Amino acid sequence: MSLLTVGSVAFDALETPFGKTDKIIGGAATYITLSASYFTKDNNLVAVVGGDFPQEMIDVLEGHGVNTDGLEVRPDEKTFFWSGKYHNDMNTRDTVEVQLNVMEHFDPQIPAAYQDCEFLMLGNTAPAIQKMVIERMTKRPKLIMLDTMNFWMDIAMDDLKEVLKLVDVITVNDEEARQLSGDYSLVRAAATIRSMGPKTVIIKKGEHGALLFHGDHIFFAPALPLEEVFDPTGAGDTFAGGFIGYLASTGDVSFANMKRGIIYGSAMASFCVEKFGSERLHNLTTQEINQRVAQFVQLSAFEI
Ligand code: AMP
């Protein structure tokens, strides 16, 4: 089934304990669509970039089958820019700078050909824009998933609460879940967030895996213990892209299938962190992905 992703396509500058980059390509929707491309062939993007954004990266996305008809290029403006610095544990980071640039007046236009998308992924962007996208879909998608971050909770909490009423699944990290709910316990935080709208809550815990809350059920997926984590940027988006890409490829939104989706998402995220930026997602094979998934199965399999 078809997937529509809306979110940032960006320049990032990163600093980790292993090194520093100048401007490299990033953005939530970049990671999401690349990751999802390994699962669904009907993979549609709505985003905005400035005239400074390289055509080569648009070619990379298109090479992965991403439909970029909804990627607006504003020649006289600059692409969204984010820079972040990771702490030594690589699990926490500080935002050093955000330049909204072209995102400040992002007016997402949904091409007619995208209108029947069954899966909608609202990547990290202003909650008011996320809501606008839902309102601009002529038919409600089968599943709407939203990702957000502390930045929006700090400056647009009311807008965020409005859009949450309209979505089925939310992904946040543990700190964001605590900020959104006002509760330290992640179990209670998930219950509070579920009462705000999304019936399914995914809480990402970086190298400690992810929790899926759905009805009375809780599922936990570990993260793959890796010898080296080079750059965690985009891991959350890559996870989300693998999750929703897998759901879209199967068309199945049951809890049992979401569990599989969480494992596929975690496997994709484990690749993402192995190199700076999105590079590791450019040339994966189905065989590599399946081998990773098998490692996940092995990691927590036991008998009593
Ligand atoms: P993640 O590491 O999965 O949380 O996502 C990192 C990506 O999110 C980076 O590539 C950034 O370009 C993008 N990003 C960071 N801040 C924002 C923001 N305020 N709005 C939209 N995208 C953002």
Q: Ligand 1 within 6 A of 26 CB? A: yes
Tens-digit pLDDT profile for residues 217-239: 999 999 999 988 888 999 999 99
Q: Ligand 1 within 6 A of 27 CB? A: yes
- Choose which residue among 5, 6, 14, 82 to substitute to test ligand 1 binding: the one with the highest number of ligand atoms within 8 A of its C-beta: 82
Closest atom of ligand 1 relative to the 12 alpha carbon: 12
The alpha carbon of 28 and the centre of ligand 1 are apart by a number of angstroms equal to 5
Round to whole Å and give the CA distance between 38 and 247.
12
Q: Ligand 1 within 6 A of 124 CB? A: yes
pTM reported for the whole predicted model = 0.97
Q: List the CATH number of the domain containing 63.
A: 3.40.1190.20
Closest atom of ligand 1 relative to the 173 alpha carbon: 4
**Domain residue limits at 242:** 3-300
Q: Ligand 1 within 6 A of 28 CB? A: yes
- Choose which residue among 21, 124, 125 to substitute to test ligand 1 binding: the one with the highest number of ligand atoms within 8 A of its C-beta: 124
Return mean pLDDT, the chain: 96
* Residue 77 neighbours by CB distance under 10 Å: 17
Per the structure, the count of domains in the chain is 1
Tens-digit pLDDT profile for residues 96-113: 999 999 999 999 999 999
Q: Ligand 1 within 6 A of 167 CB? A: no
pLDDT value of residue 99: 96
pLDDT value of residue 294: 97
Q: Ligand 1 within 6 A of 8 CB? A: yes
Tens-digit pLDDT profile for residues 118-170: 999 999 999 999 999 999 999 999 999 999 999 999 999 999 999 999 999 99
Residue 290, phi then psi, degrees to nearest 5: -65, -35
Q: 60 CB contacts (<8 Å, ≥6 apart)?
A: 34, 282
pLDDT value of residue 88: 86
Exposed/middle/buried for 184, CB within 10 Å: 0-12, 13-18, 19+?
A: exposed
CB 120 within 8 A of CB 144: yes
- Choose which residue among 83, 230, 233 to substitute to test ligand 1 binding: the one with the highest number of ligand atoms within 8 A of its C-beta: 233
